[in-house]
Chain A
Amino acid sequence: MQLFRAVILRLLTTAVTLSGVAVIVFVVIRVVPGNPIAMMLPPGATDEDVARLTALYGLDKSIFRQFLIWAGGVLQGDFGTSITTRQPVLGLVLGRLPATLELSVMALVIATVIGGFAALTGTRLRGTRSEAAIDVANGMALSVPDFLWGLVLILLFGVLWPVFHISGRVTPSIDLPFTTNFYLIESLVRLRPDLWWDIVSHMLLPALALAIPLAAIIGQVLKQSLKETMHLDYVTLSRTKGYSETHVITREALPNAVLPALTLVGVQFTFLIGGTVIIERLFSYEGLGNMAIDAVINRDLPLIQGIVILFAVIFTGVNLIVDLAYAALNPRLRHG
């Protein structure tokens, strides 16, 4: 019951947040220089042509009027029409969403596995040279941003030793028999390992580029948290019961050390989703981020608005999931 109330409260504050985001984006992209109409018309267009098109898209009205019209549409599920493609924004954006979600989640899984493994190994081998080596690798992974890792990975595994694809989401000559845009999931559901591998080998490098800095953060925070937990009496007590160090770390210390790390991972995951914008561009991956850059270049105002709102929804959704996971993992909160 208490949980139910908390969720309702969160949804209400989320609505306020999203409205704020909508207002800011709407105003900012209209105030900055650059005119979508000028981008659309050929160089010899007359002033009359410009005026006619501007009126057609409603850009001659005041920003306030424009916002009311747009917001009214959004509340009815109509996000407007893309200026460049003349297609409904909602359909375009939702069509690209699965690509970005699959990429981000894959990156998160890779980051959790690598970071978790580094933290556990570092704790197990504490006080040795191996621990120092892990710390150094961690620092390196942390101090290089994701797009530079992307370039490094392209050079290593796309050029010098070309084992993975470095462009696109799937080999263009393959005709996908899919009904959804969740390629990775659908290839699994349809039991097509050949397609699955083609998709994975396209996703692996961009996912890795996004994952490496996050893995370093997870590794660092979790290791610090484990270090504090390892000094506690119940860990010592477990040692006297005859358990191995590995067992003591994974069974006694880890469940309690995960909690502080979890909140931070949630925050960092939203940064990772932000990072997809550049990484998708780098790898020509047909996701939301790539679409966002095109929309900005073309001053496709309705499309930019739609993408930003969707990103805002994803961010708040991730935060909600993290809070719920925290409650589920902590018995003190569960039984209130």
Chain B
Amino acid sequence: MRNLSARVRGAPDRLLRDVSLSVAPGEVRGLVGESGAGKSMIGKAVLGILPRAVEVLSGEILLEGTDLLRLAPADRRRRIGATCALIPQDPLTALNPSRRIGPQMTDRLIDILGWSRTKAQDRARDLLAEVQITDPDRVLRQYPHELSGGMRQRVLIAAAFAAEPKLIVADEPTTALDVTVQKEVLRLIAGMQARHGTALLFVTHDLGVVSKVCQSLTVLYGGLVVENTTLRDFFPAPAHPYARALLAATPKYTDPGSSLVPVPQAVLDGVQAQVVAADRGWRNG
């Protein structure tokens, strides 16, 4: 992704401010920032599901060398469907309640990729087994309401890998889950990603999660990339003061007695000034 800018149609300010980031094959990149920083917006832009009110102003989204934004809408849709996938945030609302699990996992393979029904079903069965679902055939015949939240999240993870996508966007996949299940789901995603060698863009607000599954990360503030680095460089000492404050603000489970540290106001003022400066440059250019 290069220099991507977007805004709400007609609004004076941008939501994304010249965002550039990349995910290499097999890499897991964390995308962190506070609420409203634009991290989910980036995931949506990649998958072509930005809300109607949001328009892309400039920049490009390159997928294996092709700029998705320059494709005709129908081509872009099919290209994304064939090469990208989404692991959604809330497993309870991300499955269609009136359709069985089987068709929901195989529809893309059959309709978009042109697989045969049997081949797609075999694939779905294998993937369910891979996410440690014990009776795949039964689950394929069931409706979403017959499965627990954890089971549904497994189904969604398995479905995301079904078409062997090049890139998967995981949109806060653990936020809606119980803390006890979170760890297991993280391990599952990381394991699947490693086995399939997929590039993974992991959207989260939790630096603890990033430290467990990612190799690199991008920190956003107000739609502006403040830090783009590898995990190894980040964790001892983030370069940007905001990133440093964010790291310090992360609750430490190892030390339950420590109190929460807010991001200092001076740091917020500093990064806000940077956003304003970026906008000044954008308006004049």
Residues of chain A touching chain B, judged by Cβ–Cβ distance below 8 Å, are 127, 232-234, 236-244, 252, 255-256, 329-332, 335
Chain B residues positioned under 8 Å from A233 (CB to CB): 88-90, 93-94
CB pairs A–B below 8 angstroms (18 shown): A233-B90, A234-B93, A234-B94, A234-B104, A236-B88, A239-B49, A240-B48, A240-B84, A241-B107, A242-B108, A243-B81, A243-B111, A244-B74, A244-B77, A252-B96, A252-B99, A331-B143, A332-B143
Whether B85 pairs with A232 at a CB distance below 8 angstroms is no
Chain B residues positioned under 8 Å from A236 (CB to CB): 49, 86, 88
CB within 8 Å of A: which B238-282 residues: none
Whether A240 pairs with B81 at a CB distance below 8 angstroms is yes
Q: On chain B, which size bracket covers the interface?
A: 20 to 34
CB within 8 Å of A: which B64-92 residues: 74, 77-82, 84-86, 88-90
A324 to B17, CA, bound (A): 54
Chain B residues positioned under 8 Å from A329 (CB to CB): 98
Contact with A along B89-123 (1 / 0, CB 8 A): 11001111111000010011001100000000000
- Interface: B233 (CB within 8 A): no
Whether A256 pairs with B80 at a CB distance below 8 angstroms is no
- Given pairs A234-B95, A240-B48, 17 additional interface contacts (CB within 8 A): A233-B88, A233-B89, A233-B93, A234-B93, A236-B49, A237-B86, A237-B88, A240-B47, A240-B84, A241-B107, A244-B77, A252-B99, A330-B98, A331-B143, A332-B145, A335-B143, A335-B146
User: 4 shortest A-B CB distances, which residue pairs?
Assistant: A242-B81, A241-B108, A233-B94, A242-B112
Chain A residues positioned under 8 Å from B79 (CB to CB): 242
Residue of A nearest to B87 (CB): A237
- Interface: B283 (CB within 8 A): no
Contact with A along B188-211 (1 / 0, CB 8 A): 000000000000000000000000
Assuming A241-B112, A243-B81, is B98 touching A127 (CB within 8 A)? no
Residues of chain B touching chain A, judged by Cβ–Cβ distance below 8 Å, are 47-49, 52, 74, 77-82, 84-86, 88-90, 93-99, 104, 107-108, 111-112, 143, 145-146
Residue of B nearest to A332 (CB): B145
Whether B94 pairs with A242 at a CB distance below 8 angstroms is no
A256 to B97, CA, bound (A): 8
Chain B residues positioned under 8 Å from A335 (CB to CB): 143, 146
Contact of B96 among A234, A244, A332 (CB under 8 A): A234
Q: How far is the CB of B23 from chain A (nearest CB, A)?
A: 16
A84 to B89, CA, bound (A): 72
Chain A residues positioned under 8 Å from B85 (CB to CB): 240
Chain A residues positioned under 8 Å from B90 (CB to CB): 233
